[in-house]
Amino acid sequence: MPDQKQLKNVNYSERILSSFQDFKNDNVLSDIILIAGQSQYHCHKVILAASSPYFKAMFTSALKESRDNAVEFTEMSGHILDEIVNYVYSGIAEVNRDNAQELLTAAHLLQFNEIVEACCDFLRAHLHPSNCLGIEWLSRLHSLPKLEAEAQNYAIENFDRVLDYDEFLKLPDDRLQWYLQLSEIDLYTNLEVSDNVPPCEINPRPSTLAKDVIVLLGNDPETGLGMMYAFEPLRERWSALSDAKGLPCVLDGVAITTVGNNIFITGGIRDEEIVSEVWCFSSKDRKWISLPNLKKPRALHSCASHNNQIFVISGTDNIASMVKQSVPHETIERLDLKDTVSNGNSVKLDGYDLAKLEWEEIAKISYPRIKSMTICYKETLIEVGGYQFSIPVKKLEVYNCSFKNPGGANKKSPTLSKKLSQSLSFYGAEQYILPEPIEHGRMVSVNDDLYILWQDAKKFISLNPEKKNFQNLARPCSHSTNSSLVVIGNRIYLIGCHVDTGREDFLSIEYFDVESCDWCQTASIRRALRNIQCAVVKMRCTYD
């Protein structure tokens, strides 16, 4: 038999804390009174000292308060002291719009760092043109550089709206001068807007900082010229990127992806020929440049990026059936796609190395798809939707691109091609069976979940690849088979040609809120565009 036994009561801390609350509520063994305004709280010095360095220093030093039986806080309101005392005895404090700034000040004084951090998180999440200047000042006063910088950037970014609120009128002269001398801030007078003028044709003026915007690419159906617009979700405003230099024609069958704040489009169909062109748009320079061509022409493919590498997946290099049938490009979805795929072994997964500025053939794809969608998810590339030999695909392919050998150790290899081909040959592609085939599929990832849209049926689901379960979600309001799906924060934006009336006379945009699981419609743009493609980048844009 053992000589000793250890007792560990897992509920002990909770029971002691509950007893402390009872002592406070019943005024048992209290030895100090905290006073603020008309409120008084009978407390215990040892508990206050254990919870805060401020109180520990007060009650263990030679200060007068260590001998007194009452401490008054003349610049603190009773309801704020109530939150502080409640936190001391329960570990719970409520932060809301009415008390966040005052509670932060009190918690900073009394050195309750957890409350300070909670208040910072709350204020950060509730920055608004009406309060950002006050939060910036409060953060500077209490030496909170991170919150100060975020409030300051928010004020700069939304300075034209800050002007409408009282905090701006109270801004000290030195701070006003500091803001006005910033190159990012440019003040203009808003112009009258006519109802019959499209939003993107109104005299533009610059935004103040680079921010997440949705860039929309497409072609004018009458002239065939490339068009480029930006949508700023925060303001729900469209603007024409008329100063973008070298904008190419957005071809049928292209694929789009982003690396950093650069947009890449690859391949496509021009004059009944599949091309191998690659274009890159720099959001910083607002300029399109031509990059090295693909190894082979490619169209109706998908494109994704991972770790500064661009991957081109599936698609076709054979236009013969399209030429033979003389089918217009805009009706590709009505083609018999059986003959558009050449020998499956000739369609490869290609990669573009941004450091080496060249394309590499990485792996063969035995059963390539047409019109599929591929995204990067953690260390994998996931392909969904499209056709295989005229049959809509029900499988979701998951390609591992973690570049590890079967034993799990990193296998050093001199080229991207070897790395990914080893990964594919070792791991293969994991498959998920979806509820039904997807002809016109779109997919994005938010946190750990995939969100998949059947464009033709408006079906929308979430899928967790690790848990291997899916959930049916609310369907979008609009219906289009010519649309794009992008993500900003916890919102999934659907941008597409409005076809309810049978005419592509304007583009609709709506978003799905991941937290509320609801679709909401937002600003539309009165434009007809073909071959629309969308991407999210950070950039300064113009707005009306």
Q: Where are the domains of the chain?
A: 16-180, 199-439+536-543
Give me the phi and psi of 124, to 5 degrees please.
Answer: -60, -40
Among the ranges given (76-85, 183-192, 326-335), the one the predictor scored with the smallest mean pLDDT: 326-335
Taking the C-alpha atoms of residue 401 and residue 424, their distance in angstroms, rounded to an integer, is: 7
Cβ contact 395:435 at 8 Å: no
Q: For residues 462 and 456, is the Cβ–Cβ distance under 8 A? A: no
pLDDT classification of 210: cutoffs 50, 70, 90: low
Tally: H helices and E strands in the chain: 13, 32
- Cα-based angle 251, 302, 441 (whole degrees, multiple of 5): 100
State the average pLDDT over residues 347-363: 81
Sign of the four-CA dihedral 39, 44, 49, 52: negative
Residue 365 confidence (pLDDT): 76
Q: What is the pLDDT of residues 518-536, one digit of tens each?
A: 999 887 777 777 788 899 9
Please check whether residue 462 is in contact with residue 450, taking contact to mean a CB–CB distance below 8 angstroms: yes
Question: Is 16-180's fold the same as 199-439+536-543's?
Answer: no
Residue 216 CB neighbour total at 10 angstroms: 24
Given this model, what pLDDT does residue 405 score?
39
Please give the pLDDT value at position 518.
92
How many CB atoms are located within 10 Å of the residue 129 CB? 19
Q: Which two tokens stand for residue 399?
A: 């390609």
Q: Bigger pLDDT: 38 or 12?
A: 38
**Banded pLDDT at 244 (limits 50, 70, 90):** confident
Greater pLDDT, 156 or 202: 156
Give the single-character DSSP code of 517. Answer: T
- The DSSP result for 357-376, as a single string, is TEEEEEEE-SS--BS-EEEE
Q: What is the pLDDT of residue 105?
A: 92
Output the DSSP codes for 118-164: HHHHHHHHT--TTTHHHHHHHHHHTT-HHHHHHHHHHHHHTHHHHTT
Output 218-224 pairs: Cβ under 8 A, ≥24 positions apart. 218/250, 218/529, 218/530, 218/531, 218/532, 218/533, 219/249, 219/250, 219/529, 219/530, 219/531, 220/528, 220/529, 220/530, 221/504, 221/528, 221/529, 221/530, 224/249
Tokens of 466: 């690790």
| Between 203 and 452, residue with greater pLDDT | 452
424, 405 Cβ separation under 8 angstroms: no
Buried b (16+ CB within 10 A) or exposed e, 395-407: bbbbbbbebbeee
Please give the Cα distance from 453 to 382 (Å, whole number). 14
| Superfamily holding 199-439+536-543 | Kelch-type beta propeller (2.120.10.80)
Q: Which residues pair with 304 in a beta bridge?
A: 311
Taking the C-alpha atoms of residue 529 and residue 218, their distance in angstroms, rounded to an integer, is 5
Residue 141 CA: distances (Å) to CA of 102, 104, 147, 150, 249: 13, 11, 11, 15, 53
CATH superfamily entry for domain 16-180: Potassium Channel Kv1.1; Chain A (3.30.710.10)
* H-helix or E-strand spanning residue 387: strand 387-388
pLDDT at 189 over 60: no
In order of 109, 140, 210, 321, 461, the CA distances from 509 in angstroms are 48, 39, 22, 35, 19
For residue 431 the two structure tokens come to 């498959």
R_g of the chain, CA atoms, integer Å: 30
Residue predicted with more confidence, 126 or 408: 126
pLDDT score of 95: 93
Cα angle value 194/199/204 (rounded, 5°)? 100
Nearest to 460 by CA among 470, 468, 469: 470
Tens-digit pLDDT profile for residues 359-369: 888 877 777 88
* Burial of 162 (C-beta count, 10 Å sphere; 0-12/13-18/19+): buried
Asked if residue 372 has pLDDT above 50, the reply is yes
| Model confidence at 78: pLDDT above 80 | yes
Residue 291 to residues 265, 358, 383, Cα–Cα distance (Å): 10, 9, 25
Position 122 scores a pLDDT of 94
Q: What pLDDT is recorded for position 366?
A: 72
Q: Are 313 and 324 in contact (CB under 8 A)?
A: no
Could you tell me which of 532, 476, 440 has the C-alpha nearest to residue 251? Answer: 532
Confidence of residue 24 (pLDDT cuts 50, 70, 90): confident
Q: Please give the share of the chain, as a percent, with pLDDT higher than 70.
A: 78
Question: Residue 394: CB partners within 8 Å, gap ≥ 6?
Answer: 433, 434, 436, 437, 438
- What are the backbone dihedrals phi and psi of residue 259, each rounded to the nearest 5 degrees, phi first? -130, 115
